[in-house]
Chain A
């Protein structure tokens, strides 16, 4: 299991990358900046599991909070509206 590099409140950016395969990081959130809401634990890496490999070492998983107005330039609604997404550590920088 890999050590958790981020803590709640840390500012992070999602990698803006487009590799092939089974990726659990939605397109719309790649390249966006947010704040760690909580550390969820560590889980098998889905990109590896999807290839029938072990998924080890387990990757820390975070819930990251993003402001909607940052994610969608034309967003209409409360400026404090948020979207929270689970993101694996290797997708965060």
Chain B
């Protein structure tokens, strides 16, 4: 463990990152400003974007249908650019619950949810989400009825997934903004469901 104030040598990967970055700048491939801009761009992406999409689908049935039909185009309607990949929105219903994993690496809809949580990239989540999803969900505190069908989506190639959760009871008459506030990152990965309180 690192102690505050104590000198720690760079780890292998940190050293590789710094060396590569400095070389790219030195050789004129990239500028430091470009790297800083790219980092800022990544930081700006957060689950609030995905929550806006979900809230819109809850208040507008026609948007909901377009989202399920072509997720990328529906996001463009909200001014959200999801470049170079296809977004597939999967809808939770009283009969079926959806959850997302990437068993091969850590494919994740970053443009809508930002940087993935560490557990999403862990070997344990990646292997167990496909083989024992119910046990994994219960560890997240989500206990599903035995009758509920679980659909696990393994994003192995060029698609990215967003779970469209069910709008909870007790949110009638809420504004789109207020609805978006209860849609958390985990709800859109499918390891949680939104709650009205």
Interface residues of chain A, those whose CB is within 8 Å of chain B, are: 24-26, 28-29, 40-41, 43, 46, 61, 63, 68, 71-72, 75-78, 80-88
CA distance A68 to B134 in the complex (A): 12
Evaluate contact between A78 and B156: CB separation under 8 angstroms: no
Contacts of B153 in A (CB 8 A): 83-84
| Cβ-defined contact, A83 with B130, below 8 A | yes
Q: Let me know if A24 and B104 touch, CB within 8 A.
A: yes
Residue ranges of B at the interface with A (Cβ–Cβ < 8 Å): 86, 88, 103-104, 130-134, 146-159
Pick the contact of A40: B86, B133, B150, B154 (CB < 8 A): B86
Can you pick out 27 interface pairs between chain A and chain B where the beta carbons lie within 8 Å of each other? Answer: A24-B104, A24-B156, A25-B156, A26-B154, A28-B130, A28-B131, A40-B86, A40-B88, A40-B157, A41-B86, A41-B158, A43-B157, A61-B158, A72-B131, A77-B134, A77-B150, A80-B149, A81-B133, A81-B149, A81-B150, A82-B149, A83-B130, A83-B152, A84-B152, A85-B156, A86-B154, A86-B157
A-B contact count (CB 8 A): 75
